[in-house]
Amino acid sequence: MTAGTTEPIVRISDLHKSFGANEVLRGIDLDVARGEVVCVIGPSGSGKSTLLRCVNLLEVPTGGTVVVNGHEMTDPDVDIDAARRSTGMVFQQFNLFSHLSVLDNLTIAQRRVLGRSRAEAEERARANLARVGISEKENAQPGQLSGGQQQRVAIARALSMDPAVMLFDEPTSALDPELVGDVLDVMRGLADDGMTMLVVTHEIQFAREVADRVLFIDGGVIVEQGPPADVIGNPREERTRSFLARVLHTAPRAAGG
Partner 1 sequence: MALTRRQRAKAWRGVQYAIVVVVVLVAAFTADWSQIGRSFFNVQVALNLMPEVFTIALKNTITYTALGFGLGFALGLVLALMRLSSVAVYRIVAAAYIEFFRGLPALLVFIGVGVAVPLAFGTILDRNLSIMIALGLVGSAYMAETIRAGIQAVPRGQVEAAQSLAMSPTKTMSFIVVPQAFRIVLPPLTNELILLTKDSSLAFFLGSTLEQQELAQFGRTALNQERSLTPVLLVGLCYLIITLPLGYLARRLERRYGSAGMPKGAEV
- The least CB distance from residue 165 to partner 1, in Å, is 12
Which of 237, 88, 113 shows the shortest CA–CA distance to 171?
Answer: 88
d(CA 256, CA 17): 23
When binding is defined by CB under 8 A, the residue of 56, 69, 74, 107 that contacts partner 1 is: 56
d(CA 45, CA 95): 21
- The least CB distance from residue 24 to partner 1, in Å, is 17
Which of 89, 68, 64, 59 shows the shortest CA–CA distance to 11?
Answer: 68
DSSP codes, 46-71: SSHHHHHHHHTTSS--SEEEEEETTE
Q: Is 24 in the site for partner 1 (CB under 8 A)?
A: no
When binding is defined by CB under 8 A, the residue of 18, 135, 141, 225 that contacts partner 1 is: 141
The arrangement of strands across the sheet holding 213-218 comes to 87-90, 165-169, 196-200, 37-41, 213-218, 221-226
Task: Classify each residue of 63-76 as buried b or exposed e, where b means 16 or more C-beta atoms within 10 Å of its C-beta.
Answer: ebebbbbebebbee
When binding is defined by CB under 8 A, the residue of 62, 95, 135, 225 that contacts partner 1 is: 95
When binding is defined by CB under 8 A, the residue of 43, 47, 142, 235 that contacts partner 1 is: 142
Q: What residues from 144 to 203 belong to the interface with partner 1 (CB under 8 A)?
A: 144-147, 150, 154, 157-158, 161, 167, 174-176
Query: How many Cβ atoms from other residues are within 10 Å of residue 135's Cβ?
Result: 14
When binding is defined by CB under 8 A, the residue of 81, 178, 193, 238 that contacts partner 1 is: 81
The interface mask with partner 1, positions 98-127, x = CB under 8 A, is xx--------xx--xx--------------
Query: Which residues lie near partner 1 (CB under 8 A)?
Result: 56, 58, 81-82, 84-85, 87-89, 91, 93-99, 108-109, 112-113, 141-147, 150, 154, 157-158, 161, 167, 174-176
